[in-house]
Amino acid sequence: MEIQNIKTFGALKEAGYQSISIKDELRKNLIQKLKNNETVFEGVWGYENTVIPELETAILSRHNINLLGLRGQAKTRLARLMVTLLDEYIPVVAGSEINDDPFQPLSRYATELLKEKGDETPITWLHRDERFAEKLATPDVTVADLIGDVDPIKAANLKLSYADDRVIHFGMIPRANRCIFVINEIPDLQARIQVSLFNILQEGDIQIRGFKLRLPLDIQFVFTANPEDYTNRGSIVTPLKDRIGSQILTHYPENVTIAQKITEQEANLLANQKSAIYIPELAKRLVEQIGFEARNSEYIDAKSGVSARMSISIFENLLSTAERRSLLTENVTTSVRLLDFLGTIPAITGKVELVYEGEQEGAGAVAQIIITNAIKTIFLEHFPEVKKLTKATDESPYDGIREWFYKEEAVELLDDMDDGYFQNQLDAIKPLNALIKKYYPDYNEKDIYFVKEFVLWALVELKILNKERFTKGFQFNDPLANYMKGI
């Protein structure tokens, strides 16, 4: 017989069930997972040697936890994944508002029911998925929301005086007894509301409208906070910080490979998008490099951070831009082009906080600067830097391309150009083949046209070629020839 089929307190005792606190429960199941070499926090990348060991240590220490980090650093996800460390089911006194443990009842309702019915007290079972409660801290949150208040309707219906503790309506925290309770962005909570948490964390007392109840609630608290909040909006009051056992610092992905794993895991793509649109590896690399460039940009507020959600949104927009083009040109399948990255600008502008210099440039211009900086960074990882020529006989690896553009007409790459015509335009630039074969020989055959376009964009950034925007695309030409034409 499965234990969750037991319906009475007496049968539960006969089965030998022993209740433990939620912190001991988390600790017990974590120890078992560690012994079995199981992955505890599935789907969280880049924290294996930093955040996760500290979080596991805090759980083993049975601490309440504060996850401190900039936005988009998986703080809430880590808190939600702690649910997997709970037992699948726990027994609850049937009808209890605060998930009373039949072995250690807290509420007046559960205590009286157990006195009245003894071993015949009915119990229900609470699944671990129902043992997670979350509240976003906002300035309008009240003590009544979190702790509770007197309910005049309950008093009237039950014909109770306001001196009777049964008129209390419990708030979110008592109702989360024996659960994981997460308060996101804790500094946004008003200081007087934070003060109301002191006794719950330490002594287990709650005070509601003159009622002082001894309720040693069994809760695993997890708080999340952004360092920016400490100066811009509020702070965690010192006595509350003192009652939080472990403060764990989160961080952004340390390299592009980890960032790429996160983006591909989290991007919300449809099956037909994945099958109809090919994404070159260099394009995936560029998506992540844009995020790294943004975090180092002089135009973007580093204290605010650049969320991992930006890379995810860029990736989704990139595929949708390519999809839109394929619909307009009636290409059944297509490949992502570098020109499609201009369609990702809305995914960048809404995800960054600009400093004064960035505001002067404008959000759209800053997004384009970040994209071109990312192109240049990746290009110089594979291709030689342009050196200043000291003699007339000095040669550059890009001379062939420069000469081709000087002699030939300019190349035009349109936003909504048919795949065949797009490829013909790039194939016409013969010196590109030799350059790519020499310095980027390991490319995938299917990626060749993205690589060619990528090289053209990078050479513009290195001042070897010139690029001009017109209504529906770009023209690439030789800077000198273009200058002479202007004269």
Same-domain check for residues 336 and 440? no
Distance CA 56, CA 65 (A): 11
Q: Does the pLDDT at position 268 exceed 60?
A: yes
Residue 10 domain flag = yes
List, in order, residues 6 or more apart from 360 with CB less than 8 Å away.
none
Same-domain check for residues 279 and 365? yes
Same-domain check for residues 336 and 290? yes
Task: Tell me what pLDDT residue 367 has.
Answer: 96
Q: How far is CA 42 from CA 25, 33, 192, 333, 437, in A?
A: 19, 12, 37, 34, 40
Distance CA 344, CA 314 (A): 5
**54 backbone φψ class: left, alpha, beta (φ>0; ψ -120 to 50):** alpha
What H or E segment, with its residue span, contains residue 115?
helix 108-117
Q: What is the mean pLDDT of residues 67-71?
A: 92
Distance CA 182, CA 175 (A): 13
**74 backbone φψ class: left, alpha, beta (φ>0; ψ -120 to 50):** left
Last residue of a domain, one of 194, 229, 249: 249
**Tokens (6 digits) for 278:** 């090919």
Range of lowest pLDDT (139-153, 206-220, 259-273, 437-451): 206-220
Q: Does the pLDDT at position 175 exceed 60?
A: yes
Q: Does the pLDDT at position 486 exceed 70?
A: no
Last residue of a domain, one of 382, 408, 438: 382
Q: How would residue 485 be classed by pLDDT, with cut points 50, 70 and 90? A: low
Distance CA 349, CA 290 (A): 12
Residue 470 domain flag = yes
Same-domain check for residues 302 and 367? yes
Task: Tell me what pLDDT residue 260 has.
Answer: 94
Q: What is the mean pLDDT of residues 418-447?
A: 93
Task: Tell me what pLDDT residue 387 has.
Answer: 73
Residue 159 domain flag = no
List, in order, residues 6 or more apart from 482 with CB less than 8 Å away.
410, 466, 468
Residue 202 domain flag = no
Same-domain check for residues 239 and 100? yes
Residue 433 domain flag = yes
Same-domain check for residues 101 and 232? yes
Residue 455 domain flag = yes
> How many CB atoms sit inside 10 A of residue 464's CB?
18
Query: Tell me: the pLDDT tens digits for 400-416?
Result: 998 999 887 789 999 88
Q: Does the pLDDT at position 299 exceed 90?
A: yes
Q: How far is CA 5 from CA 13, 90, 398, in A?
A: 13, 12, 75
Percentage of the chain lying above the pLDDT 90 cut:
67
CATH number at residue 298: 1.10.8.80
What H or E segment, with its residue span, contains residue 414?
strand 411-414
CATH number at residue 427: 1.10.10
**Tokens (6 digits) for 429:** 């630039």
What's 387's DSSP letter?
A: P
> How many CB atoms sit inside 10 A of residue 317's CB?
19
**Tokens (6 digits) for 203:** 């002594």
**Tokens (6 digits) for 257:** 């490979």
Q: How far is CA 121 from CA 8, 103, 356, in A?
A: 6, 11, 66
Same-domain check for residues 278 and 356? yes
Same-domain check for residues 88 and 231? yes
Same-domain check for residues 353 and 450? no
Same-domain check for residues 131 and 40? yes
Query: Tell me: the pLDDT tens digits for 176-228?
Result: 999 999 999 888 888 888 887 877 776 666 666 666 667 788 999 999 998 87
Which residue would you say has higher pLDDT here, 472 or 83?
Answer: 83
* Domain tally, the chain: 3
Q: What is the mean pLDDT of residues 126-133?
A: 95
Q: What is the mean pLDDT of residues 462-472?
A: 89
- The three-class DSSP label of residue 59 is helix
Query: Tell me: the pLDDT tens digits for 79-110?
Result: 999 999 999 999 999 999 999 999 999 888 89
Can you give the pTM of this predicted structure?
A: 0.87
Residue 150 domain flag = no
DSSP 285-324: HHHHHHHHHHHT-TTB-TTT---HHHHHHHHHHHHHHHHH
**Domain region containing 468:** 399-486
Same-domain check for residues 404 and 351? no
CATH number at residue 34: 3.40.50
Closest by CA position to 293, among listed 309, 306, 282: 306
Q: What is the mean pLDDT of residues 59-65?
A: 96
In 30-157, where do the E strands start and end? 65-68, 89-93, 123-127, 132-136, 148-150
Closest by CA position to 107, among listed 172, 180, 158, 170: 170
- The three-class DSSP label of residue 330 is coil
Same-domain check for residues 235 and 264? no
Q: How far is CA 181 from CA 155, 178, 221, 225, in A?
A: 29, 9, 5, 15
Last residue of a domain, one of 229, 249, 269: 249
Residue 277 domain flag = yes
Q: Does the pLDDT at position 275 exceed 70?
A: yes
Which residue would you say has higher pLDDT here, 290 or 393?
Answer: 290
